Amino acid sequence: MTSADTVITVTPLPGEGKENPLVGGLSVVGGGVRRLLSTIGSEARFLADVVVGFRDVRTWIPETTTQALKLGVGSLPIALFIATFTGIVLALLASYSFTGAVPLYFVGTLVGKTVMLELAPVLTGLALAGRVGANIAAELGTMRVTEQIDALETLTYDPVAYLVVPRVVSGTLMFPLIVAASMMVGVGAGWVASVLLLHLSSPDFVKGLRLFFQTFDVEYGMVKSASFGFAVTLVGSRRGLRAEGGAVGVGRAATSAVVYSAVLILVLDAFWAVTWLLGREAT
Amino acid sequence: MKRINDAVVGLVVIVIVLALAGALAWVKGTDVGKRPHEVVARFHDVGNARVGNVVVIRGVVGGRIQAIELAPAGWVDVKMKLDPAVQLPPEPVVLLNESSLFGEWQATIVERSALPHDETVRQQIDDGSRGGGVLPGATLPGIGKLTAVAGQIAGDVASVAGRVEVAFDEQAARELRGSIRNVSDLSRMLATTVRTHASDLDTLSNQLRFAIATLNRTAVTVQGTASRIDSAATSKQVRDMIDNLAQASTELRHTSTQVRDLAGRFATTQTRLDSFLANGDSVMEKIKRGQGSLGLFVTDPSMYRRTDSLLVQMRSLIADIQANPKRYVSIKLF
């Protein structure tokens, strides 16, 4: 009998199996804090890895256009589709709200402001969170569970520089462009809807559109959408790289990527509104 | 494959960037290739004017507000970008005002002479004119201020109404009813008086009409006379008349000089005469008082008697001389 086969039996003392409720509660709180700090730490470490990965330019640059094509150009149709209907519905809603109280040319103002400042970035961001975030999480998750990433590491490739950085860069750069296209299409759709369905003249719509227009509106929407692109691709990559447990794990990673991305988009939307929009005098 | 990917991404990026730039330029109304000119206006306060608000000249949109900045000494500088074709009026001033009830503001460039007759506005413009190099500006009150003032007025009216309600009790109502009755009586009396004096008024109005007709005729006559004077003024007769008048006036001036001399002499004579009369008065007074020989002669009866006696004696002497000349005259030749 070797030492490994030795079985040590511990007999509990009287009253030892009964857990003190206070200690139990504290251990729950402590465990939660520990897990929270662990999560924050691991996410921060991942972010640091991405920053470090940026230095490996030769690895991520060649992949960036491929990702830009897949994540950006490939997302244009759905983004423009959403923007078209958003513009139309906004024009009709504005007309419905303004009936008899506000001049109809304010439809142009409302469509322009709402599309540029909020709807084009957020709706496009949410749509792309589903499309791009899930895509990245599933792709990287599959690579993780099929040990392709391990193979890359074995070949001394930095998986973050090769897989994450190109996606994050292309997402951060392409999201604003997609949103810009969505803005133009959304306002155009609202314009066409106003002319065809509301019998508003083109000069009136343009008058309303120009009335309170500022370049800041476009800048704000594009900066916001860049932050959305960064968040969506980063979350998708992180969820994919952490996938485990086969197809189920990949599915879970994709789902959580979409959920986290959507939540982050809304949080970032509020963040920009509070830090930039609120503090800005409309001058 | 990778090159195709690059090309597609590049094409999409370029197309979107160009489309966005074009859309922005169009929405902002930028004239590509034309250099807009900038003007700066100075205000105490810009109200709710914002960057991007339109600039209107004679009712036409001619540019937009480009920047609003705080300036030293409590001023606010508003930079406006105007279309190249826009020409400023002489002595331009800028008014910031609401262009609608929905919070839209605009900058209106007008001539100083076209300013509204508002003391506050003119004061603001005068203050802004002292800076130099920038256009003077004034801000008209917004609908918010106007409604605030209207609200204050409404409050005052409500307060007055409340006081009236307090003051207008039953007693006041009775008095008011009595006053109305009095006014009714008064109006009835007035109506009677008017009826009574209606004929007088008719007569008066007829006379007035006649007087006016007379005045009209007189005016026509005066007009005819004036026209005749006008026609005469153009002929030679008037010149002759004027020459004669000039000659007459010369002669008159000469005559008046002579008369003035005569009057001077007459004054001298009068002075002498006054002196003579004064002396005469003095003499007569002395005579009256019996001073001097003549006074004694006039007032003293013994003098008269002596003189009379002398005359009697003289008469008897002369008679004696006539009777006996040799007694008094002896002529001897040798």
A1 interfaces chain B, CB cutoff of 8 Å: no
Total domains, chain B: 1
Contact call for residues B82 and B135 (beta carbons, < 8 A): no
Look up tokens 């309600």; give the residue.
B165
Percentage helix, strand, coil, to 5, in chain B?
65, 15, 20
Reported as a pLDDT band with limits 50, 70 and 90, residue A4 is very low
B83 located within any domain: yes
Taking only the tens place, the pLDDT of each residue in B21-69 is 999 888 877 766 777 788 898 888 888 888 878 888 888 888 888 889 8
Cα(A253)–Cα(A233) distance, integer angstroms = 13
Containing domain of residue B78, as a range? 36-141
Whether B121 is covered by a domain: the verdict is yes
Nearest-by-Cβ selection for A283 from B19, B20, B68 = B68
| Chain A stretch 213-252, residues whose beta carbon is closer than 8 A to a beta carbon of chain B | 213-215, 218
Contact B79, B66 (CB under 8 A): yes
The amino acid occupying position A215 is: T
pLDDT of residue A5: 52
Residues 38-67 of A with CB under 8 A from B: 62, 65-66
8-state DSSP, B332:
-
Q: Which residues of A197-218 are buried (b: 16+ CB within 10 A; e: fewer)?
A: ebebeeebbbbbbbbbbbebbb
Nearest to A124 by CA among A91, A68, A66, A84: A84
pLDDT digits (tens, 9 = 90+) for B159-210: 888 887 777 777 878 888 888 888 888 888 888 887 777 777 677 778 888 8
In chain B, the percentage of residues whose pLDDT exceeds 90 is: 2
Q: Report the pLDDT value the prediction gives residue A270, as an integer from 0 to 100.
A: 94
pLDDT class of A214 with cuts at 50, 70, 90: confident
Residue B98 inside a domain? The answer is yes
Q: What's the pLDDT at B233? A: 63
CA-based nearest distance B14→chain A, Å: 10
Strand partners, B41: B78, B135
Q: Determine the length of chain B.
A: 334
Tokens of A250: 């990949």
Q: List chain A residues with CB under 8 Å of B45.
A: none
Matching residue, tokens 């509204």: B116
Q: Is the pLDDT of residue A235 over 90?
A: yes
pLDDT for position A18? 66
Asked if A164 and A141 count as a contact pair (C-beta separation under 8 A), the reply is no
The SS3 assignment for B319 reads helix
- Residue B77 belongs to a domain: yes
Mean pLDDT value across residues B120-141: 82
By Cβ distance, the residue of A73, A112, A210 closest to B8 is: A73
Task: For residue A257, name the pLDDT band (cuts at 50, 70, 90).
Answer: very high
Q: Which of A109, A184, A223 to mutate to test the interface with B (most CBs of B within 10 A)?
A: A184
Q: What is the ipTM of this complex?
A: 0.75
Residue B251 has pLDDT above 80, yes or no: yes
Give ∠ CA B6-B9-B15 in degrees, rounded to 5.
135
Query: Which residue of A63, A67, A71, A73 is the best one to mutate when testing the B interface, meaning the one whose CB has the most B CBs within 10 A?
Result: A73
Between chain A and chain B, how many beta carbons pairs sit less than 8 Å apart? 58
Q: Name the residue of chain B whose CA is nearest to A175's CA.
A: B13
Banded pLDDT at B212 (limits 50, 70, 90): confident
A282 against B236, higher pLDDT: B236
Within an 8 Å CB–CB cutoff, is residue A157 touching chain B? no
Residues 6+ apart with CB under 8 A from B19: A180, A181, A184
